[in-house]
Amino acid sequence: MRAFAYHAPSSLAEAVAVLEREGPGGRILAGGTDLLVQAKERGSVPRYVVSLRDVHELSRVSFDEAGGLEIGARVSLGEVADHPEIRRRFSAISTGASLVGSYQIQNRGTVGGNLCNAAPSADCAPPLLVLDAVIDVHGATGRREIPLVDFFVGPGRTVLGADEVLVSIRVPSPPSKSGSAYLRHTPRQEMDIAVVGVAASVALDARGDVASLRVALGAVGPTPFLAREAGARAVGQAPDDATIAEVARIAAGEARPISDQRGSAAWRRHLVEVLARRAIKIAIGRALAA
């Protein structure tokens, strides 16, 4: 592996200043579980890296009813997976984080890294999409907020500028009578990449009908994305098997899978339908129990 310069600023402002000063060719290093593997195996070695190791202001998870959930860029996947409040109110997110790699990977890797790496199969992306996450970003020109639905551009590409740092991920408090779930298919039990990932979130109204439903898909398109038609279709319907089956069918139609070494397009589309059905069912169950 080629040598690269290593910077370890101790504040966010300093991190942004390093990016501005050093110019293009740099990379933020959070857990490094994508960055270093890519450098070693694909030879994509950055000119310099800016480690978030000492930027302690990014290592917080906070939750309150009014402000919702905020996950700092340095928070490990393991902490997100085990966080009691996230497990209770944002089940899909804790499931997504708990499925990434292994314990070792979860101890190092971050949700921010998972999103910025922008793999179509990123396991944290569909859960955050169905829960309306917003990305908080700092750059040389200041601060901005990006809804996650607008964040991904293509495989490995996001709207982040070269001088920008993802600071945190914010998720609004879900309404009462709501629930979410994330399922993925992998040939192995763990340490595997999703052939298909499906997240669902459901909110029920006072009568028990569907007030809102979102389905997001991973590994069946150039980026993780919301299956908007499928979600819209359920609103106002009873959360019964017929509705669920219909929504799942539409979601499968919205998938844009390719055939590769992980599976054929036809099988992936089929898996979307199966997993969407199951994920929606689980989310409804959680909403009813909430």
Ligand X SMILES: Cc1cc2nc3c(=O)[nH]c(=O)nc-3n(C[C@H](O)[C@H](O)[C@H](O)COP(=O)(O)OP(=O)(O)OC[C@H]3O[C@@H](n4cnc5c(N)ncnc54)[C@H](O)[C@@H]3O)c2cc1C
Return residues touching other proteins (CB under 8 A). 1-3, 41, 185, 187-193, 195, 260-264, 267, 270-271, 274-275
Question: Which residues neighbour 289 within 8 Å (Cβ) at sequence distance 6 or greater?
Answer: 179
**Residue closest to ligand X when measured from CB atoms:** 113
Q: In whole angstroms, how close is the CB of 193 to other proteins at the nearest point?
A: 6
Nearer CB in complex with ligand X: 127/239: 127
Nearer CB in complex with ligand X: 71/230: 71
224 binds ligand X (CB under 6 A): no
Instruction: Pick one of ligand X, other proteins, none as the site partner of residue 264 (Cβ within 5 to 8 A by kind).
Output: other proteins
Footprint on residues 40-69 left by ligand X (CB under 6 A) = none
Pick from 136, 1, 160: nearest CA to 72: 136
Look up residue 87 and give its amino acid: R
9 binds ligand X (CB under 6 A): no
Contact 137, 12 (CB under 8 A): no
b/e map 109-143, b = 16+ CB within 10 Å:
bbbbbbbbbbbbbbbbbbbbbbbbbbbbbbbeeee
185 binds ligand X (CB under 6 A): no
* Six token digits for residue 219: 């590994």
x-or-dash string of contact with ligand X, 246-285, rule CB under 6 A:
----------------------------------------
Contact 238, 245 (CB under 8 A): no
Return d(Cα 155, Cα 220) in angstroms, integer. Answer: 11
- Count the residues in the chain: 290
Pick from 142, 145, 269: nearest CA to 217: 269
Q: Pairing state of beta strands 142-147 and 134-139? A: antiparallel
Nearer CB in complex with other proteins: 162/258: 258
Q: Which of 68, 78, 109, 120 binds ligand X (CB under 6 A)?
A: 109
Number of helices (H), then strands (E), in the chain? 11, 14
39 binds ligand X (CB under 6 A): no
Q: In whole angstroms, how close is the CB of 174 to other proteins at the nearest point?
A: 26
x-or-dash string of contact with ligand X, 17-36, rule CB under 6 A:
----------xxxxxxxxx-
Nearer CB in complex with ligand X: 10/266: 10
Q: Which of 122, 200, 204, 230 binds ligand X (CB under 6 A)?
A: 122
Pick from 87, 206, 111: nearest CA to 167: 111
Nearer CB in complex with ligand X: 105/265: 105
Contacting residues toward ligand X, per CB under 6 A = 27-35, 37, 73, 77, 99-101, 105, 108-110, 112-114, 116-117, 121-123, 160, 165-166, 191, 193
